[in-house]
Amino acid sequence: MYSFNSRIRYSEVDSNAELTLESLIDYFQDCSTFQTQDGPATMEYLREQNMAWVLNSWQIIINRYPKLCEHVTIGTVPYMLKGPLGLRNFFMDTENGERLAIANSVWTLFDFEKNVPVRVTPVIIDAYPLEDKLEMEYGDRKIKIPETGEKIACEEIVVRRHNLDTNNHVNNGQYIRMAIDCLEDKSRKVTSMRAEYKKQARLGDILLPVVIKNKEVDNSIYTVSLNNTEGLPVCVVELVVSDN
């Protein structure tokens, strides 16, 4: 397990002084990046090998969003390395051990020169000691786009420089921001989310969101398919929003 401590900042909260989902994802991404950069399989090492980790899917369950100035611990637990795949959990806890959020993620090691997935190297295996996966309700990694439901209009999105990561692709968290921007009422709390990454979007690409809303007893489920101009999904995001 790798972890670091932090305190919820003013720049990370919403109008209710609670951490936003986007900032929670940033914390999780920072945590895995810190572990990577502590070596030996750093981003620089991967770049020299023409390799990078590509995120296939996210699943995040939020029990409670921490408040401004709360002290938190963010951690990640790699639990499987097999072939080109890497699986890891994430969590955010209070300083008293309350589990605020828990996540699962699936990654593929990709060779960008050959444009193919590649097996993890001994250096990578040494960098990520494996532990037992965390207890959570694991969902399907694939997201089915509903055939029924209320369709919601959303404006097209042009990929800007601030959306990009160090690989010059749209950052994983940016897709979630785009999906949240498609919600009718952004003040409602997202209690869980899943994301399936299918393609890479780059600077200047146009994304055309298709949003479908379905209702459960106490929740609304928004399925947001961020499509390219050919109508193919680049990223599909499912947001479960509390109606209470």
Q: pLDDT digit string (tens) for 85-133?
A: 999 999 999 999 999 999 999 999 999 899 899 999 999 999 999 999 9
pTM above 0.85, yes or no: yes
What percent of the chain lies above the pLDDT cut of 70? 100
11: DSSP letter: G
How confident is the prediction for the chain on average, in pLDDT?
94
Q: Which residues contact 44 (CB under 8 A, 6 or more apart)?
A: none
What CATH number should be reported for the domain holding residue 63? Answer: 3.10.129.10
Per-residue pLDDT band for 45 (boundaries 50, 70, 90) equals: very high
**pLDDT of amino acid 187:** 78
Phi, psi of 138 (to 5 degrees): -75, 125
Mean pLDDT of 174-199: 91
Residue that is written with structure tokens 């972890």 in the block: 3
* pLDDT over 80 at 167, yes or no: no
Q: Can you give 153-210 as a three-state secondary structure string?
A: CCCCEECCHHHECCCCCECHHHHHHHHHCCCCCCCCCEEEEEEEECCCCCCCCEEEEE
243: confidence class by pLDDT, cuts 50, 70, 90: confident
Token output for 222: 């928004």
Tell me the helix, strand and coil percentages in the chain, rounded to 5.
20, 40, 40
Position 140 in a domain: no
In the structure, what pLDDT confidence band is assigned to residue 39 with cuts at 50, 70 and 90? Answer: confident
Q: In this predicted structure, what is the pLDDT of residue 131?
A: 98
Q: Is there a single domain that holds both residue 111 and residue 204? A: no
Q: Which domain holds residue 164?
A: 150-242
The predicted-structure confidence for 192-225, as pLDDT tens digits, reads as follows 999 999 998 999 999 999 999 999 888 999 999 9
**How confident is the model over 35-51, as a mean pLDDT?**
94
Domain total for the chain? 2
Q: Are residues 166 and 121 in the same domain?
A: no
Contact call for residues 169 and 202 (beta carbons, < 8 A):
yes
Same domain as 99, residue 33:
yes
